[in-house]
Amino acid sequence: MRFSILIFFLFTRFLAQSQNNKINFIETDKLDSLLIIHSQLSKKTIKIYRIQLYSGNRNESINVENKFKKIFPKILTMNTYEQPYFKTKTDYFRTKLEALKIFPKIKKNFKNSFIYEENIDISNL
Same domain, 64 and 108: yes
Higher pLDDT, 36 or 76: 76
Domain count, the chain: 2
Span 100-116, mean pLDDT?
96
Say if residue 40's pLDDT is above 90. no
Assign 3-state DSSP to the chain and report helix, strand, coil percentages, each to 5: 50, 25, 25
Angle at 97 (CA atoms; ends 96, 102), nearest 5 degrees: 100
Same domain, 25 and 74: no
Same domain, 37 and 68: no
Domain limits for position 37: 2-42
